[in-house]
Amino acid sequence: MSKTFSFRRFGMSFYFILLMLPIYWMVSMSVQPNEDILGSFQWFPSNFTLDNYRTIFTDSSWYSGYINSIQYTLMNTVFSLTVALPAAYAFSRYSFAGDNQLFFWLLTNRMAPPAVFLLPMFTLFQSFGILDTTLAVALAHMLFNVPLSVWILEGFISGIPRSIDETAAIDGYSFPRFFIRVLIPLIKSGIGVAAFFCFMFSWVELLFARTLTAAEAKPIAVTMTRTVGASGVDWGLLTAAGSLTLIPGVIVIWFVRKHIATGFALGRV
Amino acid sequence: MTQAVKPRDNRAWYLVAPVMVSIVFTAVIPLMMVINYSVQDIFGQSRLFVGADWFNKTLEDPAFRGSFLRNLAFSIQVLIIQIPLGIVLGLGLPKKGWRSSMALVLMAMPLLIPFNVVGTIWLVFARGDIGLGGYFLNNIVGLDINYAQDSFDAWTTVLVMDTWHWTPLVALLVYAGLRAIPDAYYQAATIDGASKFAIFRYVQLPRLRGVLTIAVLLRFMDSFMIFTEPFVLTGGGPGDTTNFLSISLAQLAQAFNLGPAAAYSLVYFFFIQLSCFIFFTILKRF
């Protein structure tokens, strides 16, 4: 027994080392001057420097990329959850004309390759005059985040016994009051998980974010492409910008770490 | 959709209305526009109805067929590698204490890295001169890895990158599925004197069906839509070796080749929907 156990631990440790190595490498490059990166190969940074980070934090064309990305990610999370909550409740509690078809159809939007919607969304948002704003990206990301939120929240709401709804009604709670005072606190963890996923998918997406923005609302991911210039790639700056994009992710994982496993199963194991 | 009897009330549509509005704007109208483009030849202001021409051209286009087969091969390899690996990792994850939280947080990390940064990480990591992985394989193991020039290396690097990026999702799903198995099942199996493999085969695997269905569907869809990571890493090259469907579609779209791009999109979208439906039906049978 103990033999298999240590083998398992060895295997898992090995996997985690492999998992972390590429990330380590990017972070370690970001704290080196470019001469060291391109010079002789070294396993650990020898001339530690924060110059690359200093460039990013002092140049507004760099840090505005982060602000834009965070802006549309947060907007998208709020929008998606707001529209998804009542719908999830409806799917979980009532049967209505076309409910199954609608539910499945919603999910098929999660399967739509963003590349398919690229052109029409560009034209559509252009005619609304919201091209090159963070709002446009936030709205475009609702394409996949709304169905996902409905799916996750429906799972969590179905876990709440219906007797609670009835008790609240008998106690004289109106529907909106029941929804905000009773239901939402009960599915807090579900909302957390859904918010986590909205944040995640909006934060990592690039295709929409790139196509729907030009100058004003450029996300950090696009700003990063600037590091490839005529004189070659500015590796230090590129990896520093990349390393900074890890931080929001780590923060949100930390918040939902207790629910992360159920969350990834989309609340339905 | 788990409860047995739900009261029937069409007023529930009011609650669904906000979702409908958002979906109309982000999915229905754009899809209509794609369909509209796909049957016309659009050049500046002039529009000409061409019927199914673009569809015929797309289906006969060797470049489309090439990308399609390449993408299909990629998705199949992704499933063959990542699903078993994810199951093994999910079984191996620590179950309690700080070690478990730590493992889960570390494992989820690649999932929260923007796609282009994933591409960048591997762009740097796999380079033979300045990348740890490339350097190690070339100078210490003695291989000759060059993902920018050798097509086999490019393909393998994209596959390894995708495995690095997405296997954690499968592992986390499996882990969640395992946590949901009541202890009584294991106790009963132990009393029956079941071997570890028997426990896996007859207790754990059947209870993982739900999460594995999600895992297979998500991995198939997402690998079939893969765009940013190979775009950053190889740009579709060398030659066409890693030119997947989304990459060539984005090229068409950016050239504002409306008709062909729209027909391409619809064929692509239809295939994803169809295969997801087939997967879903097969996996439900088990």
B275 CA: distance to closest CA in chain A (Å) = 11
pLDDT of residue A24: 92
User: What total number of domains does chain A contain?
Assistant: 1
The answer to whether the beta carbons of residues B121 and A30 sit under 8 Å apart is: no
Structural domain that includes position A107: 55-264
Residue of chain A minimizing CA distance to B162: A19
Cβ <8 Å between B115 and A93: no
Residue B261 has pLDDT above 60, yes or no: yes
Residue A84 has pLDDT above 90, yes or no: yes
Residue of chain A minimizing CA distance to B275: A111
Cβ <8 Å between A124 and B15: no
Residues of A in contact with B265 (CB under 8 A): 113, 115-116
Q: What values do phi and psi take at B43, rounded to 5?
A: -140, 105
Structure-model confidence comparison of residues A190 and A260, the more confident one: A190
Structure-model confidence comparison of residues A5 and A128, the more confident one: A128
CATH of the domain at A201: 1.10.3720.10
pLDDT of residue B3: 47
Report the complex ipTM: 0.83
Question: A25 CB near a chain B CB, below 8 Å?
Answer: yes
Residues of B in contact with A117 (CB under 8 A): 26-27, 30-31, 34
- The answer as to whether A120 is a domain residue is yes
Using CB atoms, pick whichever of B107, B120, B177 lies closest to residue A242: B120
Q: Which amino acid is at B229?
A: E
Residue B280 has pLDDT above 70, yes or no: yes
Cβ <8 Å between A38 and B130: yes
Q: Which CATH number fits domain B64-285: 3.40.50.150, 2.130.10.30, 1.10.10.10, 1.10.3720.10?
A: 1.10.3720.10
Strand partners, A233: A228
Element (H, E) at B40: strand B40-43
Q: Where does the pLDDT of residue A141 fall: very low under 50, low under 70, confident under 90, or very high at 90 and above?
A: very high
DSSP B8: B
Mean pLDDT, chain A, integer: 84
Question: A87 CB near a chain B CB, below 8 Å?
Answer: yes
d(CA A112, CA B246): 11
CA-to-CA separations, A53 to A246, A251, B10, in angstroms, rounded? 14, 19, 56
Structure tokens belonging to residue B203: 């207790």
Q: Which amino acid is at A109?
A: N
Q: At what angle do helices A51-58 and A235-244 cross, to 10 degrees?
A: 70
d(CA B242, CA B151): 8
Cβ <8 Å between B112 and A8: no
What value does the mean pLDDT take over residues B9-15?
84
Residue A187 has pLDDT above 80, yes or no: yes
pLDDT of residue B69: 92
- The answer as to whether A3 is a domain residue is no
A41 CA: distance to closest CA in chain B (Å) = 6
What value does the mean pLDDT take over residues B7-23?
87
Predicted structure pTM score:
0.86
pLDDT of residue A268: 52
pLDDT of residue A221: 77
Best mutation target among B23, B28, B64, B170 (most A Cβ atoms within 10 Å) is: B23
| Full DSSP string of A39-89 | SS--SS-SS---HHHHHHHH-HHHHHHHHHHHHHHHHHHHHHHHHHHHHHH
Residue B262 has pLDDT above 60, yes or no: yes
- The answer as to whether A78 is a domain residue is yes
Cβ <8 Å between A111 and B272: yes
Structure-model confidence comparison of residues B66 and A256, the more confident one: B66
Picking from A144, A153, A143, A182, the residue whose alpha carbon sits closest to that of residue A93 is: A153
- The answer as to whether A118 is a domain residue is yes
pLDDT of residue A265: 60
